[in-house]
A and B are shown apart, each in its own frame.
Chain A
Amino acid sequence: MAGKRLGKQTLRLSSPPSVISNATIVGPKEGEGPLAQYFDIILKDDYFGEDSWEKAESKMLKEAVKNAIKASGRSSTNINFMFAGDLLNQIVSSSFAARDLQIPFVGLYGACSTMAESMCMGSLLLDGRFAEAVVCATSSHFSSAERQYRFPLEQGVQRPPFAQWTVTGAGAAVLAEAGNGPYVTHLTIGKVLDFGIKDANNMGAAMAPAAVDTITAHLNETGRSPEYYDMIVTGDLGKVGKTITLDMMEKEGFEIQNVYDDCGYMIFDAEKQDTHAGGSGCGCSAVVLNGHIMKEMKKGNINRVLFVATGALLSPTTTWQGESIPSIAHAVAIENTIGEGI
């Protein structure tokens, strides 16, 4: 095992799996945002032809997985495992999709960190030679998340300016032991942190410390500097969380502003689309990674990315009981070439 674990949290994959294909599906609002050109399918109707939002979300996930597998050139019987999770109670979007897909399934819950979490688990199985190809996926839906966590849609309320907008979207990636890259080279598994934020509208502030902790751990344990990466990107901290992360990273002694961005901040035009602090939800980092980032990597415009998906591990019950919001962040280093740097 020597050499595979760097420090307490970071793992170096000795045979880095390759991300061989990706797929994304987004809702109409995301399709009007600044990253629209990168998404494979933009839905005209967020019901996706179903009669409930939960079914629509599950269908998005299922279609994203199917499309990613199709793009990989493999048949679904050659995909050994599916790792997926979502925000709905008992992760029904994922398990209902897995019911139809009939791929051996591991359901995960990491809230909005699920895209990174699923890629971590999938990569480990591939690196351990327990699989030749796996699919990692996640989804979220504005309307199914709103009704579970917040208010009915038609309720006339004002959202605070730091609130975020749950992304309607699903993203999937097929990872395989052999391929031409981009490669998953390092994983940093996050710790659960809680700095005491209790307002469920203030997710960015709740999750920022977890992101800072994981990024710091990754840089320290790999010995890499922030400039090693063309892009360090957090999942869904939004404008508020992004500002806090930058400031806290500086306190930690890392200047990351030249390479740092946030998927939640990138996916919407906050002014035009009235999304306040930005996007959130599992689907947010999933569609930005599998859409924007992977396409730019395959074009060679960016070569090294540290993808840090962040999750707020709360439930409506804990919020009503006045509990604070524990958060987590997992980091996945994705690189076009293996063996450069450390």
Chain B
Amino acid sequence: MKTKMSSKQYEEYIKDKLPKPKSFRNCVAAFIVGGIICDVAQFISNTAKGYGYSQESVSSITAISMVFLGAFLTGIGVYDRIGKFAGAGSIVPITGFANSMVSPAMEFKREGFVFGVGAKMFVLAGPVLVYGISTSIVIGIIYYLFGK
């Protein structure tokens, strides 16, 4: 072959040959689905409030319910379809977190409960936990030193 290209040149060369992601459509889908998920959470929150629970309990009830919904919809094979349509709209809310735990757990059940479900469950959620908790510690220290 006569053609010689560096990585950069090749990247440049194929640029206009790659189909573009439909960013506008994806943003709209993410906005709508993400919004609906938040509406559901708000509904649960308001309902819990209506039953007279404290603010702290209401937050817990809402989070637990949404995680359950995310896990349940993953379990019955619906959440991946929502995700395909909505992209970030269904990944960012807490239901997406549930999906990222339940989907590997289902997938790796065949490898047993220790090396499969147990070991692989956090394969996607692990990084979120590690950096989420690390960040909260850093923020906590800053708050302790400079807060108030």
Contacts and interface: CB of A to CB of B under 8 A. Distances in A.
A240 B99 CA distance: 31
Interface string B1-32: 11101111011001001111110001000000
A175 interface: no
Contact of A205 (B14, B81, B100): B14
**From DSSP, what is the main secondary structure of chain B's interface residues?**
helix
Given A243-B17, A247-B17, A277-B19, A154 B80 contact: yes
Interface string B70-104: 00001001011111101100110000100110111
A244 to B, nearest CB: 6
A317 interface: no
Interface residues of A, number: 36
B18 A196 contact: no
Contacts of B1: 209, 212-213, 216-217, 252
B107 A197 contact: no
Nearest to A324: B7
Contacts of A209: 1, 3, 10
**From DSSP, what is the main secondary structure of chain A's interface residues?**
loop
A224 interface: no
A248 interface: yes
Interface in A153-174: 153-162
A156 B99 contact: yes
11 contacts: A151-B103, A155-B99, A156-B84, A156-B103, A205-B17, A213-B1, A216-B2, A217-B1, A239-B19, A240-B17, A252-B1
Interface of B: 1-3, 5-8, 10-11, 14, 17-22, 26, 74, 77, 79-84, 86-87, 90-91, 96, 99-100, 102-104, 106-108, 110, 124
